[in-house]
Structure 1
Amino acid sequence: MTAYRYRALNAAGKLVKGVVEGDSERSVRGQLRGKSLRPVEVTLANRPAANEGARLSWLRPRVGVAEMALMTRQLSTLVQSNLPLDECLQAAAEQSRKPRTKGLLLQVRSRVAEGHTLAYAMGEFPGVFNEMYRAMVNAGEHAGFLGPVLQQLADYTEQRQYTGQKLKMAMIYPFILVGVAIAVVVALMVFVVPELVGIFTHTARELPPLTRGLIATSEFFRAYGMWVAIGLIVAMLVARRLLRNPGRRKSWHAFLLKIPGISRVVIAVDTARFASTLSILMASGVPLLDALRIAGQVLTNLVLRADSEAVAERVQEGSSLHRALQESGRFPPMMVHMVASGEASGEMETMLQRAADNQERELEMTLGTVMGLFEPLMVVFMGGMVLTIVLAILLPIFDLNTMVR
């Protein structure tokens, strides 16, 4: 059976939505009529409804990281309880509160019920189940350890969600602080400064340079502030569009790796994700070359991704993993030493996970240091701006006092 998404009218004339399984659209409509529902629209669950056709693709609902982690955890628990796989998918779909996730699981279940493997069924939804996810499921099915592999996937997804939330929380405060500082300065220039320095504009005496500069800046913000804001927004949109080109995006990523502070953060984030993904793939029984190719796809920086492809080529030619990583020159030395230790001791998966944990701890320390310096710097900046405005206002008053004396 196939999952269908429906919109129907109940006995009270209220529009209701949901997901139901059926052999065909006609059978689904019959089921709805049997429940005293009048069908309005019935579509396949993995296709957008007609009223969503005009929406942009980025506005359509997607399976988030938190929902993916919960879904994987539920599947892991159900599979390890020795239930048939199609029943596990059915139970997970019934527990889901989101119609899109429920429809997705029912579509996967219908493929499994037809005799396909779980990895094959998930392969029809590459936007939800990425290549790493499908490779691990495929390895778990072939080895007969699907439950433990799903549990590892759930742990991995939850860890990625936790790391992502930490990075977002670390960046929220500086963005808010910068936004408030810019808003305060603009408000002072547009509304406060003209009222305060207006009394000096008609004086015959020449104003101090600082006061003249403040008046000119205030007039500029009042006359062209809106155009400057629009120009910045347009520039950001144009830059985003230009960076869609792989060549330009790779050049931009190479430029980021040349900036001392930013390069350290970019390398720490990407190499931690690379090591963690490689560790879990190898622990799930995925061959090393396939694991390197899949783990390289999780790197967001295109230069580092190209380096990972070069590492895979060297390993394929017979080089050891730690030597291939060392020859690339961009992977952290600590990670290279841990990989070498793992190759020597036969505990590659464990050492890779330790390398990932080490990179994440280093990233947390770096962000903590940056945030610790950023707050006093912003306070000094705001104090300097206020001091400049106050001096620009007081200097003409001091000149008037000198003339009176």
Structure 2
Amino acid sequence: MAYYDYKARNSRGELLQGTLEGADQAAVASYLLGTGATPIDIRPSSNESGAAPASLLERLMSPPVTSLDVQLFSRQMHTMLRANVPIMQGLKGLEDSASNKSFARVLRSLRAALDAGRELSAAMRDHPKVFSQYYVSMVQVGEMTGRLGAIFPRLHDYLQLDRRMQEQIKAALRYPKFVVFAIVGAIGVVSAFVIPQFAKIFMKANFELPFMTRMLIAASSFTLNYWQLMLAAAAAAAYLFRRWTGGKDGRYAWDKQKLKLPIAGPIILKGTMARFARSYALAEESGVPISRALSVVARTVDNAYIASAVEQMRDGVERGESLLRTATTTGVFMPRVLQMIGVGEETGEIGRLMSEIADMYEEDVEYELKTLVARIEPILIFFIGILVLILALGVFVPMWDMGQVQTRRVH
């Protein structure tokens, strides 16, 4: 399929021009005739994407698209669809008024794809860094059910909650990150400048050094002589880890292990349960069938281990089993979630109950994030104490011994 620039006249004689995707010029002409327009000129497009290309400097200078841009876009799309504004006209207005030039280019690409006869969800799928799998899936559900206008406000609320949680995580980890960087920096300074100077003094003293002092001097010497090798090894380890977790098996194993981490594990699990419940409630309220809703939810939990469990639930439901039984069989869902699923199936209000469980877990995660610093602080103090103890045993004890030897020599 290729892109073609066209000019045509409608039944009122008005000039129409744009870009369409088609097998050849004849296919584009046939499409235009089918819409009641008379083709005037059809020629291959100079830009395969159907949108005006951006210069390299423009792409570098433009800020990246943020979740706030997508959140605002969701609200604006709901307002326009509610006012019965044609989607092409609405996207054009949003493109012209967009303050983020990068997002304006995305909107221009969406318009070009729609102009070529593609669906909005298919056009969004071409921008995975802007629109998540869940976002695209829910837009596709709205297109299938004819409730696209009702999908966007729910996506707006979903993005708002997700962004608030991300901001809380960053705020909670700001202090621990600062302390860890300070510790690493202090170790680097001591290894590079302090210990080598003490080592020279100890060598001149000509007496047997304690084990801890010998270890510190050896570690300092190794760091100074092989720091390039250490950096290369750290970079290689980070690359291999990212590559391993980027694969299907590696990501599954790491996502499963993350749930078992001390302190962070329970928070991650509750956050994932909240995302699962919120996503399922949103799909349920949109009129999506259970099996389809579970397929959509599996793409948004952001944990391959939990996503696999959701897919098992979908397979069980398709076999005719109850949602509660399939959820219990997976062994990953918390008791409160299972209880709400069971009550929801009995009362037929599973969407409302899942929304309530999402609210509850989001409150739990918010509280635990606020208290995260208080729980991490004793661990940080413990490691700082160990560092001070090692320095004291390795540096100050031999200095004390040297002083004692000198005193005995004088007497």
TM-score (norm 2): 0.78
1:329 deviates by 0.9
Equivalent pairs counted in the alignment come to 369
Give me the whole-angstrom Cα distance separating, in 1, the residues matched to 2:105 and 2:376.
Answer: 46
1:181 deviates by 0.6
Contact 1:108–1:118 (CA under 8 A) maintained in structure 2: yes
Mind listing any 5+ residue stretches in structure 1 that lack a counterpart?
5-20, 26-40
Describe the shift of the 1:320–1:364 C-alpha distance in structure 2 as closer, same or farther (beyond 3 A). Answer: same
Describe the shift of the 1:47–1:355 C-alpha distance in structure 2 as closer, same or farther (beyond 3 A). Answer: farther
Match of 2:108 in 1: 106
Match of 2:303 in 1: 301
Give me the whole-angstrom Cα distance separating, in 2, the residues matched to 1:368 and 1:104.
Answer: 36
One-letter code aligned to 1:199: I
One-letter code aligned to 1:295: V
Describe the shift of the 1:226–1:173 C-alpha distance in structure 2 as closer, same or farther (beyond 3 A). Answer: farther
User: Which stretch has the larger CA shift, 175-184 or 210-219?
Assistant: 210-219
3-state SS, counterpart of residue 201 of structure 1: helix
Contact 1:181–1:382 (CA under 8 A) maintained in structure 2: yes
3-state SS, counterpart of residue 205 of structure 2: coil
Match of 2:72 in 1: 70
Match of 2:344 in 1: 342
Q: Given the alignment, which residue of 368, 371, 374 partners 2:373? A: 371
1:141 deviates by 4.7
Match of 2:18 in 1: 23
Query: Does residue 1:320 correspond to 2:322, yes or no?
Result: yes
Query: Does residue 1:206 correspond to 2:214, yes or no?
Result: no
List aligned pairs for 1:6-405, cutoff 5 A: 23=18, 44=49, 51=56, 63-112=65-114, 118-119=120-121, 121-122=123-124, 125=127, 128-141=130-143, 145-259=147-261, 261-403=263-405, 404-405=407-408
1:312 deviates by 0.7
Contact 1:197–1:393 (CA under 8 A) maintained in structure 2: no
1:239 deviates by 2.1
3-state SS, counterpart of residue 85 of structure 2: coil
Q: Percent identity, aligned pairs only?
A: 27
Contact 2:133–2:300 (CA under 8 A) maintained in structure 1: no
3-state SS, counterpart of residue 23 of structure 1: strand
1:293 deviates by 0.6
Match of 1:30 in 2: none
User: Which stretch has the larger CA shift, 80-89 or 226-235?
Assistant: 80-89
User: Which stretch has the larger CA shift, 171-180 or 43-52?
Assistant: 43-52
Describe the shift of the 1:354–1:396 C-alpha distance in structure 2 as closer, same or farther (beyond 3 A). Answer: same
Give me the whole-angstrom Cα distance separating, in 2, the residues matched to 1:70 and 1:210.
Answer: 59
1:144 deviates by 5.1
3-state SS, counterpart of residue 206 of structure 1: coil
3-state SS, counterpart of residue 204 of structure 2: coil
1:62 deviates by 5.8
Describe the shift of the 1:371–1:343 C-alpha distance in structure 2 as closer, same or farther (beyond 3 A). Answer: same
Match of 1:11 in 2: none
Give me the whole-angstrom Cα distance separating, in 2, the residues matched to 1:120 and 1:209.
Answer: 66
Describe the shift of the 1:362–1:60 C-alpha distance in structure 2 as closer, same or farther (beyond 3 A). Answer: same
TM-score (norm 1): 0.79
1:112 deviates by 4.5
1:279 deviates by 0.9
